[in-house]
Amino acid sequence: MPRVSQDQLDARRHEILNAARGCFARFGYEGATVRRLEEATGMSRGAIFHHFRDKESLFLAVAEDDAVNMVETVARNGLVQVMRDLLELAGTSDGDTAGWLGTQLEVSHRLRTDPAFAKRWAQRSAAIADATRERLQRQGEAGVLRQDVPVDVLTQFLELAYDGLVLHLATGRPPGDLARVLDLVEDAVRRH
C-alpha cells in the first residue's frame, strides 16, 4: 500500500473543509447529515472522519479555519478590510460567500443554543477581538486613529458594523452602496 504524504493529507483535509463549509451553509449543522457530507465531499464517512473525530469537530474546524483567516486579515489590514472582502465576495457567484455566511450564521445559532460550543468558541472570538484591538492600538500610535474614543469602544463599534454587514448579506438583501457605507465606518475611526 503506497504511503500518503503529509502534503496529500493536508490537501485532502482542505478539500473536506471547503466542501463541508458549503454543506453546513446550505443545510445548517443539524441538516448536514453524514450522508450529505459524504455527497458534498465526494468521500466516504471513513475518509471524512479519518481527518475529523466527528461532525462537531468538522464543523468547529470549518469555523476555526474561517476565524484564522479573519484574524490574519484583521492583523494585516483591519476589520473593515474583512468587511470589504466579504462585500466583494457577495458580488461573485462562486458560492464562497454563501458558504462563509452560512458558517457565520450557524456559529451564531450554536452560540445561542449550545453552551459547550459557546465555551469552545470563546477563544476564537477573543482572537478576532484581540487582533482588532491590537490593529487599532497600532493605528493610534501611528497617529491615524481618533483619540477621543477609547480603543475598546472603537473595537466594539467595528464588531457591531461587521455583525450588521453579515446579517444584511445573509438575509439576501442587495449590497446596494455598502462600499460607501464601509468608507463611512472606516472614516468614523480615523483621526481628522
Sequence ranges of the domains in the chain: 55-189
Q: Is pLDDT at 103 greater than 90 in this prediction?
A: no
Using the Cα atoms of residue 70, residue 71, residue 76 and residue 79 in order, give the sign of their dihedral: positive
Nearest of 165, 162, 163 to residue 173 by alpha carbon: 165
- According to the model, what pLDDT value does residue 154 have? 96
Q: Phi-psi bin for 92: left (phi > 0), alpha (psi -120 to 50), beta?
A: beta
* Most confident by average pLDDT, 12-16, 65-69, 85-89, 112-116: 12-16
For the chain, the distance separating the N- and C-terminal CA atoms, rounded to the nearest angstrom, is: 66
Tell me the percentage of the chain whose pLDDT exceeds 70.
93
Task: Let me know the angle formed at the C-alpha of 105 by 82 and 88, rounded to the nearest 5 degrees.
Answer: 30
pLDDT digits (tens, 9 = 90+) for 111-139: 888 898 888 888 888 888 999 999 999 99
Q: What's the chain's average pLDDT? A: 87
- According to the model, what pLDDT value does residue 1 have? 57
What is the largest distance, in Å, between two alpha-carbon atoms of the chain? 66
CATH code of domain 55-189: 1.10.357.10
Q: What's the rounded Cα separation, in Å, for the pair 84 and 105?
A: 18
- According to the model, what pLDDT value does residue 67 have? 85
